[in-house]
Structures are given as structure tokens and as C-alpha cells.
Structure 1
Amino acid sequence: MSGFHPDFGNVDRLTKQAVRPGTLRVYRLLLALGGWLVGRRVEQAVSSRGRRIWVYRPEGDGPHPALLWLHGGGLIFGNPVTEHDFARQVAAEIGAVVALPTYGFAPERPYPAGIEDAYAALEWLAAAPGVDPARIAVGGDSAGGGLAAALAILARDRGGPAVRFQMLHEPMLDEATRTRPAPDPETMRMWNPAINTWAWDGYLRNVDGPVPATASPSRLADPAGLPPAWIGVGTRDLFHAEVRDYAGRLAAAGIPVDFHEVEGAFHGFAAVRKDAPVSKDYVARMKAALAAALN
């Protein structure tokens, strides 16, 4: 279909909705099985909230910089196994300890379960052996990127572990996306307005009154004091407008922001078309920014 980046080839057969309410349980089980098979070979810790954290360490005793990286899945599914290769690369290439935390999913565990699980993982990482607590970054993909943005806000507001840098890859930031006029569904891949609305509704089902910024970072009133950010998104992503707006608001408040748009890229492009030159270039720029921020 025209309008997508030519590096991606034919995208007509890519799904417009990665998961549906009726298939959610099966999809979670498949990811859990994959996580069990791969996770047996990965160091694991447990946070104060009883959540498992996959840990990847570089060579040497440290202290090393560190990255808390949150997996995607629309706040309703996911597993650290999807970030396994990226975590190994960051540990080896940048010399950082990488922590991939698990967290609770909506609708069974709505806000604030996910962000509190992430905060407990950040506290664990800041106190972990071999980690320099002054050089910690938070980041994530999709829903994980949204949680990372919320985590930077929560750590600032609580005076918690210092976050030096935030790296937000196609982050899910704005619950208001579910009430805005939807883009043409034919331009969507992997994540569309229907599943986005269902996911946000489940995540926020216990929120009465105004939605807080630690649930939907786009509700942030004052960005002052947040760490510098690298933010990236494709122009064919459902989240494109909200991500661009968030990057602009941070920059307008004086927060250093490195914003990257990928023309014609759909949600999940860096994973679904990871061998495409444009995807490789995007991930390389992301890792270079992280290395510069932490080292």
C-alpha cells in the first residue's frame, strides 16, 4: 500500500490489530511460554512488589550505567522476552546493566498497578550491585514507552531514584486518543483505534475524575525537572500526533529533547521489519543517544 516506507516492502498482510479481547488470553499464554523458555537462561531478580525482573549485565564489576526498559503490549499483555535481544545488545555495546521488569496488565490490574510495579523495579535497579545510581535511564516500547514517561514523572514527584535520561520508542501517552476522530484504519498496522480504546478503558477503569499524568503522561501540566529525552515514532503510527505533541511540550519547557520521526513507519516497525535499513538506522540512533547520555 502506498504511503508506507519503501524499506518495509509489502505491508498489506500485516494485521491492523495485533490482539483482540477474544484472543487476549491465548496471546498472553503464548508469550508467557516463550518467556519461560528464554527466561530460564537469564538472571532474574524480584522487586519489592513481587514482580520478576530480567537482568542483563556487561563485563566487569562496575559500577555501570543502567537502563530500565519496559516491554510493550498496550498495557494489556506482553513479556520481557520480546526485548531480550535488545537488552543483550545494550549490555554488550553500551556496557550498561539492563533490567526488563514484568508488570501487571489491565483490565485485571488497572492503574496504578503497572506504574507502581515499574517504580518498584526502578528502586531495585538503583540499589542493585554494580549499578551507578547516578546514571540510570528509563525507557520502553509502545505501552512500555508510555510507562517509562510516567515513571520519569513519578520519580520526579516522589523524589525517588534519579532518572538521568528517558528513551521513549513509539510511546503510548495519551488516553484522549480513544475519543478523537480515528485515522483511516487502512493506514494502521499492529495497533488500531478499536484495540487502543479497549486497552485504555481497561487500564483506567478505576480512575474517577481527571486522569493523572502518571496514568496518561500527556496530561502532564508542568514538565519542569524531567530528564532529557529521546523520543521516536513513525508517521503512520496511531500514536504519531500525541508523541509529536509530547516531545514539543517537553522542548518548550526547556527539557532537552531529541525527536525522531520515521516517514511512512507503522506501529511496531522496528520489530516487525527489524532487518529493513530504516529500522536498523532508527535503532542505531536510539542506542547511540543512550550511550551518549549514560557514558
Structure 2
Amino acid sequence: MTGLRRSPAAEAVVVGTAPPFDPELGAALAALGDASRERLTPENLTAQRERDAASRPRPTAAELRADGRFAVEELSVPGAEGSPDVTLVYARPADATGILPVLYYMHGGGMMMGNAWSVLPKILRDWSAPLGLAVVSVEYRLAPETPYPGPLDDCHAGLRWTVGHADELGIDGERLIIGGKSAGGGLAAALTLLNRDRGGPMPIGQLLQCPMLDDRLDTPSARQMSGVGLWDRSSTAVAWQAYLGDRYGLPDLPPYAAPARATDLSGLPPAYIDVGSAETFRDENVAYAHAIWCAGGDAELHVWPGAFHGFDSVAPAAALTREARHARTRWLGRVLARSRRG
């Protein structure tokens, strides 16, 4: 494929066949049939968007309120200079009192799909309610219509507004966690780097679920998992090309565009990184955690055995999904407990 490169280090690694799927997850994947084998291309993007929207219908604010269990509000806030306003979806447990910590979250979808609403039911159920956590989900503009840095600018502008209006939102801007999944995890990592370097709001933690970090696509897992699972190297290449536009393939790409390009990961908040052993992002995620440790930082890394990209959405009741969900919740609880005032 045009634009794919291999580093000397990657060439030196002997890459075998793909790791086996966890039996329970493999059965769930097989049940998807042909849909699990279709790869993203520029030509089928419109159809893929329609299929994604149908499989993850966007809930209304009334549905997210879940019979009054949550307070939910859609906000329109100023974007970056010269950019349109950014939509934020703000939610918190309706019975929570006082100032709450906040999770600032970016949805997945390869930078080209997804929305700020569809991710919220699980976040509210798994994290907001049990942890007393407010959530702000960002509706960033999508590629290829809006390439880098537009989506990151939207996330940055929304974050600055959220922290600047913490008092009226009833949140603690100093107990902020930045998080995201897949492409949203990459945005979360990039936003954390950007805040460090620009002196912006610094989170107490970064929650990176199978983040999309490396545009170079030359890791052993990227090659090993080609054609395997829901999302592979070819789909990732389409996503990076759409997101980076004319910058795709440049040797001096900034780390805010692709966090794996960062050479300095010092001074970052604790990170939670999880990924499957049988997915294309495995090695770039492991390398990112390793780089944080080498810089003297704190990273909790989970590589779920036999898991493919998006396994927890495909098989929500699987044992491995339950274990992964509990591990994320425990990490969030520990980070929040350490940050508690008084």
C-alpha cells in the first residue's frame, strides 16, 4: 500500500502469524459474518458512516437522562480562532451534590465516524454513577472534511472552556481526567501533550483505550494483524491519510498530530493504556507506555490476551470484557482517590 513504511527496527523483528482470539471473543466476531471482514476505503467511507450510525444510534438528551438518573445538557462553546463553535455534551449523576471531578472524553471512529452522544450510555453506567463523576463528551469535527489540526483544536477549545467555566458547571477543574477510545484515545494523548507544552489545563490522569497513536504503521503488530479482526493496517492507513491530509507521510510530523512521534513524554499525568494482544495497535500502545516509564512517568498497561480492536463493544458480556471494564473503573477510582482534597 502506498505510504506504508517499515523502520529498520521493525524489519529486524521476526513476525509470525496473528495471535489467537479469545474463544468467546472469536465467536462474537465470527457471528458478525462478512461485516467483520470489510475494510475501510475512501470509496466506501459514506457507506461505512451510514452503517456505523445505524449500529450505534445517537441517543437523545432525554434518553441519556435515564428516567431522571442523570442531568444532561448540550452546550455550544466557542471554538478555536477562526473555527466554528464546538458542541459539548455535559452529564452528571442527578443526585450528586457538590463539586464533582470530571472526565473529558473523545469518542472513537477512526477520526471519520462516531459522535459525542453514542458513547455516553456506557460511560454514565460504568463510571459516572458509581464514581460520582461528571462527564463532558466532545463533538469534534471529523476528517477528511476537517483534517488535522481541526479536530484537536475543537477538543482543546472545549477543554479550555470547560475548565474556565468549572464553577458554573459544578465541577473541579483541578480533578480532570482526559480520556478517549481508539482515535479518541489518540486525541486524548495528543491533547495531554499539547496542554503540557502550552501550559494549559493539566489532567490528573489520561485514560487511553486502544489509542490510535502512530501514523507510520510499521510495528510488528500492524503487519502481523493485517487482514485480521475488525480494524487492521489498511483501514488505519485510510484513517491517517484522511486525518493528516497533505501532512501524511511527512518525517517531521508534530507529536500533537501523532503522539507516537513524541520524543519527550516527561511531565505527563498518570496514564491508563489498554489494548488487545490480537489487534493492530498493540505494539504502538506498548511502546507508548514504555516511553512514559523511560521518561520517569506513571503508566498502567493492560494487554488483554486474545482481544481484537473494539472487542468490548462486540462482546459486552464476555468475561474478558467484564475484566477490562472493571480494570478501567478501578484505575479511575484510584486516580480520583489520590486527588481528593481534604
TM-score exceeds 0.5: yes
Alignment partner for residue 224 of structure 2, among 178, 183, 197?
183
Question: Which aligned pairs between 1:16-165 and structure 2 lie closer than 5 A?
Answer: 16-17=37-38, 19-29=40-50, 37-39=59-61, 41=63, 42-49=72-79, 50-58=85-93, 59-89=95-125, 90-126=127-163, 127-128=165-166, 129-165=169-205
The answer to whether the 8 A contact 2:100-2:132 is kept is: yes
The answer to whether the 8 A contact 1:70-1:141 is kept is: yes
Give the partner amino acid of 2:60. V
Q: Does 1:197 align with 2:234?
A: no
Structure 1 residue 62: deviation in Å? 2.3
Question: Larger radius of gyration, structure 1 or 2?
Answer: 2
Q: What are the Cα deviations for residues 252-275 of structure 1, in whole angstroms up to 9, with x where unaligned?
A: 111111100101100000111111
Partner of 2:67: none
Tell me, in whole angstroms, the C-alpha distance in 1 between the residues paired with 2:330 and 2:210. Answer: 17
The answer to whether the 8 A contact 1:16-1:192 is kept is: no
- 5+ unaligned residues in a row in structure 1: which ranges? none
Structure 1 residue 7: deviation in Å? 2.6
Structure 1 residue 182: deviation in Å? 2.3
- Three-state SS of the structure 1 residue aligned to 2:327 is helix
The answer to whether the 8 A contact 2:219-2:283 is kept is: no
Partner of 2:320: 278
Task: Determine what percentage of the aligned residue pairs are the same residue.
Answer: 34
The answer to whether the 8 A contact 2:141-2:150 is kept is: yes
Tell me, in whole angstroms, the C-alpha distance in 1 between the residues paired with 2:234 and 2:102. Answer: 36
- 5+ unaligned residues in a row in structure 2: which ranges? 1-17, 64-71, 80-84, 338-342
Q: 1:110 to 1:94 in 2, by over 3 A?
A: same
Tell me, in whole angstroms, the C-alpha distance in 1 between the residues paired with 2:324 and 2:47. Answer: 31
Tell me, in whole angstroms, the C-alpha distance in 2 between the residues paired with 1:293 and 1:189. Answer: 32
Tell me, in whole angstroms, the C-alpha distance in 2 between the residues paired with 1:111 and 1:104. Answer: 10
Tell me, in whole angstroms, the C-alpha distance in 2 between the residues paired with 1:23 and 1:254. Answer: 43
Give the partner amino acid of 1:165. G
- Three-state SS of the structure 1 residue aligned to 2:277 is strand
TM-score (norm 1): 0.92
Q: What are the Cα deviations for residues 185-213 of structure 1, in whole angstroms up to 9, with x where unaligned?
A: 34x21211111111111211133651110
Partner of 1:172: 212
- Three-state SS of the structure 2 residue aligned to 1:174 is coil
Q: Does 1:15 align with 2:36?
A: yes
- Three-state SS of the structure 2 residue aligned to 1:182 is helix
Q: What RMSD, in angstroms, separates the aligned Cα atoms of the two structures?
A: 2.2
Tell me, in whole angstroms, the C-alpha distance in 2 between the residues paired with 1:61 and 1:224. Answer: 36
Partner of 2:310: 268
Give the partner amino acid of 2:305. E
- Three-state SS of the structure 1 residue aligned to 2:154 is helix
Tell me, in whole angstroms, the C-alpha distance in 2 between the residues paired with 1:73 and 1:189. Answer: 15
Tell me, in whole angstroms, the C-alpha distance in 2 between the residues paired with 1:73 and 1:234. Answer: 17
Q: What are the Cα deviations for residues 118-153 of structure 1, in whole angstroms up to 9, with x where unaligned?
A: 111211221232110110000111000000000100
Partner of 1:6: 23
- Three-state SS of the structure 2 residue aligned to 1:87 is helix
Q: What are the Cα deviations for residues 158-204 of structure 1, in whole angstroms up to 9, with x where unaligned?
A: 11112110010000000011698722534x21211111111111211
The answer to whether the 8 A contact 1:110-1:206 is kept is: no
Bigger Cα displacement from structure 2, 199-208 vs 95-104: 199-208
TM-score (norm 2): 0.80
Give the partner amino acid of 1:228. P
